[in-house]
Every structure is written in structure tokens, then in C-alpha cells.
Amino acid sequence: MEQRYYQAGVETMPREELRKLQNEKLRKQVEHVYRSVPYYRALMDEKGLTPGDIGGVEDLYKLPFLSKSDLRETYPYGMLAVPLSDCVRIHSTSGTTGKRVIAYYTQHDIDLWEECCARAIVAAGGSKDDVVQVCYGYGLFTGGSGLHGGAHKVGALTLPMSSGNTDRQIQFMMDLKSTIICCTPSYAAYIGETLREKGYKPSDNTLKAGIFGAEPWTEEMRRDIEKSLGIKAYDIYGLTETSGPGVAFECSEQHGMHINEDHFVAEIIDPDTGEVLPDGEKGELVFTSLDKEAFPLLRYRTRDICVLDRTPCPCGRTHVRMAKPMGRSDDMLIIRGVNVFPSQIETVLINEGYAPNYRIEVDRVNNSDTLDVFVELSPDQFSDTVGAITTMEKKLSAAITGILGIHPTVHLVAPKSIERSEGKAKRVVDKRKLHD
């Protein structure tokens, strides 16, 4: 396949040159932050550091970390590194794991972010000839604006649908002949399901690719969406604190997401000790923004658990790849002492022939943790006898036990009884927190 890039120069820059560029930008950025953000200057002073101590990426480990709690503490403007009058936009996290934090952008920051999204769209085969249907939410959430801006930069015809109103999404998709769709994977699955219910075959739409992110999703879920929409599904990653989606994106190889390293330096650390881990080891992803002006976070701890891959990619891009994060350290459930990621359960469900409509409930009864998995049946499966369904429940429960090492109670429930998601899916209810 012929490779196309949005910014070939930086995307395929030889590593040595890229490192030089990063070093140069990092030195300037540390100086900028030290000068403009008293909160971070105090953290550096505490460690006896001055900007002169950071000569390049190899000195990054010396700098203090930032985490969500720092952003909450400095809310709203304690991290601002330019006069507020130089900012043109504010976004905020979805608040998936607590109080929202806000991020601010200068026009330069918006351009940089949109260019990252444009790289993702081009990597997924997009060009000015495409019709890009953006059904991430618009508003404070970064998903809609990011992909919207990226599609504009590419020169594609952009449909700013926002999320929801699935009937209208489908009508516009068909009438306006959308070729690329951008949303959360859970919403993509829902749109696929709705298309099927309306009697459309996957070949009835003109979509060729989808760019899905903002929440964890499995390879099994990817295949499911690709089948139901008749497309190639690409992953995109980002977080509000670093701009939004587009920090990393998949190329045609689909073997990890290229991190836009001319703007962000990635490290993997041991989440318990903060120690930087060698390449190839799994740990918490930490980002340093190299050239954002208004909200330039240094060594920001994402809490996302993943692995970096520095082997060269056949697509020609030289930027490091990150594996699909399978959940944040704070999505991880500890059930009867065993670490469980919801994505592990999703993998089993889809492999066992169920649709990715499920809810996980954890509780504590008589001092012992309980795990209940509610999984929706298809109308066909639902017409089976009670006996047959009980057998299916036992089989699925055994399959999950095989992967997790702990025994869940599986409940197969009626079609459509589990709420669909138009944005980030909420699949876990941890009732133990209510008792604490």
C-alpha cells in the first residue's frame, strides 16, 4: 500500500534528528515552565533543579512528576503558562474518574493538536476527497473538536454530527456518503448494531475507515466493529491534559499507535516506585509536552498502563509506538486479591460469540468480593430454552474463570436490556465503594 503522511518531514524524520529536535524543544519548554508556572517551579526548587540541569531527553528523569491531583489542586488556572488573554479555548476531561480538570489552549496549541489529528486521519487513508463524519461529542470534551479540526486541516468534507441521535447519524451517513467515521468504539458498535436492525448490510454504506478512541477497546471489539460496519477500524489515543485525541494514532500496519514524538516525549514508569522502566516493559505512561504554550505539562502521569515499541515500523514513520492501553491503573479492579481489567472480560465475551453489551458488578458480601457479569443475549439466543441458557451461562462463566482465575456469576439477560453508550461506555459498577 502506498504510504501517505500528513507531515512527512517530521513523521518519518530519522531518529537521531528527531532526538535533536526533542532536546532543543525540551530545553526551551523547561525554561518556559520554570519561568511561568510558580507551582512547577516550586516542585523543581524542592529537588534543587534549575532549567540548566535539563540538557535533553536523557535528563528528563530528574524532573518531578505531575498527576491529576496536581491539576485539581491548581484548578482552574494554576498551571497557566501564558497570559490568559493569549488563550483562545478551554476543554475539560470527561470526569470518568472524578472531578474534571480543565485544559487551556493558545491558537498555536490548537493548531498543533489539530495537526496531530490530521496525521491520524491521513494514516487511516483520509484525504480532501473524504467525507468525515465526526460523532464524538462536541463541547468541553476534546473528541469532537479534535477530529473536527483534524478533518478540516486535511481538507475533508467534515460532518460535525456530535454524538447521539443514531437514526440521524445513519441517515446522514447514507445520504451524504460518509467515508470515514470518528467516535468511541462503543458508539461505533452501537451504530453497527442499529444499521443491522434497520436491515442494512455492511456493504450498503460507503464507509471505508473508522477512527475510534477515548476509551479502552479490545482486538475482538475491533473485529466486531469492522464486520458490522464493513470498514477498517483504527485506534487513536489521547487525553485532555496533553491536548486531546491524536497524541498517538495507528498507521496501516495496526501494530501499536505512533506517538507524535516531535510534540510529546513518552516514558514508561513503574507506577509504584516512579522508576523509569526499560523499553518493552509494561508500566504507566508518562508524557512531557514539548511545545504546548498555555498548558505545558512536564512528566504528566496518565495512569494508563501500556508498553512502548521502538522497533522500526514498515509504514516508514519513525515515531515510537505504544500498545493499546488496556485500561487505566484506576480502572483495574482488585477482586479477591486478583487484578482484573474489564477488557479481559470483554475479550472472553466476544470470543464466546456474544455482542460487546455487558456490565460488570463487583460487591462485597460477608467480607468476600463478588463478581457478577451481565451479558446481553441476541434475539436468536434469547429464544433458547431456560435450560439451554443456564448451560450457556455455565460455559461462559468457566471461560472467564479460565482467564481471570476467579469465578464470576454470569447472568445472560434479555436483548436491549443493557444501556448503549454514545460516548465513553460505563461498564463497571463497583458497589464496594458504596460501603466504604
Residue 98: count other Cβ atoms within 10 Å of its Cβ: 11
Position among 251, 322, 404, 418 found at the interface with Zn ion (CB under 5 A): 251
Minimum separation from the CB atom of position 410 to ligand ADP (A) = 25
200 or 237, CB closer to ligand ADP? 237
Cβ-contact 139, 120 below 8 angstroms: no
For cell 497524541, the residue is 247
Which parts of 284-323 interact with Zn ion (CB under 5 A)?
Answer: 313, 315, 317
Judged by CB under 6 A, does residue 325 bind ligand ADP? yes
Residue 92: count other Cβ atoms within 10 Å of its Cβ: 15
Position among 215, 267, 284, 369 found at the interface with ligand ADP (CB under 6 A): 215
Position among 31, 226, 253, 393 found at the interface with Zn ion (CB under 5 A): 253
Cβ-contact 44, 59 below 8 angstroms: no
Question: Residue 325's binding partner, choosing from ligand ADP, Zn ion, none, with beta-carbon cut-off 5 to 8 A by kind?
Answer: ligand ADP
x-marked contacts with ligand ADP along 47-86 as a string, rule CB under 6 A: ----------------------------------------
**Which DSSP letter does residue 168 get?**
H
Separation CA 64–CA 289 (nearest Å): 14
Judged by CB under 6 A, does residue 145 bind ligand ADP? no
331 or 369, CB closer to ligand ADP? 331
Cell of 412: 445472560
22 or 184, CB closer to ligand ADP? 184
Question: Residue 185's binding partner, choosing from Zn ion, ligand ADP, none, with beta-carbon cut-off 5 to 8 A by kind?
Answer: none
Cβ-contact 302, 286 below 8 angstroms: yes
Judged by CB under 6 A, does residue 213 bind ligand ADP? yes
Q: If 0-12 CB within 10 Å is exposed, 13-18 middle and 19+ buried, where does residue 364 land? A: middle
Position among 52, 76, 83, 95 found at the interface with ligand ADP (CB under 6 A): 95
Cβ-contact 280, 307 below 8 angstroms: yes
Separation CA 46–CA 43 (nearest Å): 5
304 or 369, CB closer to ligand ADP? 304
Q: If 0-12 CB within 10 Å is exposed, 13-18 middle and 19+ buried, where does residue 19 land? A: middle
Interface residues with Zn ion (CB under 5 A) are 251, 253, 313, 315, 317
Interface residues with ligand ADP (CB under 6 A) are 93-97, 213-216, 235-240, 302, 304, 324-325, 328
